[in-house]
Amino acid sequence: MLKSSFIFLEKITANKEKKIWQQGIKDWNDFIKAEKVVGIPKEKKPYYDRKLREAQAELLNDNSIYFSGLFPKKEMWRLYDYFKEEVGFLDIEVDSDGKIIVVGISDYYNSNFFVRGINLEKSILEKELSNFKMLVTFNGNSFDLPKLRKQLGIEIKIPHLDLKPLCVKLGWKGGLKEVEKLLNLKRPVHLNGSPVGLWKAFHASGDREYLDLLIEYNREDIENLKQISEKINRKMKISFKQTQNNLKPQENI
């Protein structure tokens, strides 16, 4: 999807991107090789060619940050397939005052958890985040990332995919738990409680069992993020390819 995208180029809207596809220009190489592109002024095409070659070079260098500020937030999913093996799934838990108590980050194989009073520190989290080329959250634009920025001073520079707007677009409305139910993603019965309650119980009793349950709760969140990401990606790819393939060729090209 990434190499078929032109929407990250200056003044290329979704409609203009479709018009480019209509000309049989399906990817960056097609665009660069084309002598002319209808809708693109002749004097402007060399500039776009340079920007596409620049994007190709950045991909070759595995530099995902280059694309972070270029793609509209609702189109960040297009980067998912390319950086899939280096995606981090992130979810935070907060206490009754809205303070971060747990940050869970996982790739497709391993998960790491950062707990207040134990290892929840800016330098440690930043080192963990440096392992990834892209970040996936649910409602992270409104919740997780602002919390990390305000409370820990952590700025996310890699591309960030927030699943919630895409879920809404697909008709899967509600919070993470509601989406899980809609998609029949089940979690153990003993993990349907409140992370706030578990944190309070841990502090009141000092019993490690409550902290372990809280971490397990967070683990389920990020594991379900992975499944939701895959389901969304499949649907968005199908829609993307249908749009490309069903567009009627422009006349007089």
Instruction: Return the CATH number at 204.
Output: 3.30.420.10
Q: Which pLDDT band holds residue 249 (cuts at 50, 70, 90)?
A: low
Q: Are 160 and 135 in contact (CB under 8 A)?
A: yes
Using the 3D structure, point to which of 46, 61, 76 is the last residue of a domain: 61
Alpha carbon of 223 to those of 15, 48, 53, 173: distances in Å?
36, 40, 36, 19
Residue 15 lies in a domain: yes
Residue 173 lies in a domain: yes
The region of weakest confidence among 1-5, 112-116, 178-182, 249-253 is: 249-253
Q: Are 113 and 130 in contact (CB under 8 A)?
A: no
Amino acid at 96: S
Residues 207 and 101 in one domain: yes
Residues 221 and 135 in one domain: yes
Residue 75 lies in a domain: no
Residues 168 and 91 in one domain: yes
Reading the block at residue 121, the tokens are 């520190």
Amino acid at 88: G
Residues 149 and 111 in one domain: yes
Residues 20 and 127 in one domain: no
Question: In sequence order, what E strands does 77-184 have?
Answer: 87-94, 100-106, 111-115, 134-137, 160-162
pLDDT at residue 248 in the model:
66
Residues 166 and 51 in one domain: no
Residue 76 lies in a domain: no
Residue 243 has pLDDT above 60, yes or no: yes
Q: What domain count does the chain have? A: 2
Amino acid at 10: E
Residue 246 lies in a domain: no
**What's the whole-model pTM score?**
0.91
pLDDT digits (tens, 9 = 90+) for 174-210: 999 899 999 998 877 766 667 888 888 887 887 888 8
Residues 56 and 163 in one domain: no
pLDDT at residue 45 in the model:
94
- Measure the CA–CA gap between 193 and 220, rounded to whole angstroms: 12
- Measure the CA–CA gap between 79 and 75, rounded to whole angstroms: 8
Residues 213 and 88 in one domain: yes
Residues 103 and 143 in one domain: yes
Reading the block at residue 50, the tokens are 């340079």
Residues 228 and 115 in one domain: yes
pLDDT at residue 251 in the model:
42
pLDDT at residue 85 in the model:
93
Q: Which domain holds residue 18?
A: 2-61
111 forms beta bridges with 106
Residues 143 and 228 in one domain: yes
Residue 239, number of CB atoms within 10 A of its CB: 12
Mean pLDDT over residues 65-80, rounded? 93
Residue 140 lies in a domain: yes
Residue 136 lies in a domain: yes
Residue that the structure tokens 């790739």 belong to: 107
Residue 101 lies in a domain: yes
Residues 97 and 144 in one domain: yes
The region of weakest confidence among 64-68, 194-198, 237-241 is: 194-198
Who wins on pLDDT, 199 or 62? 62
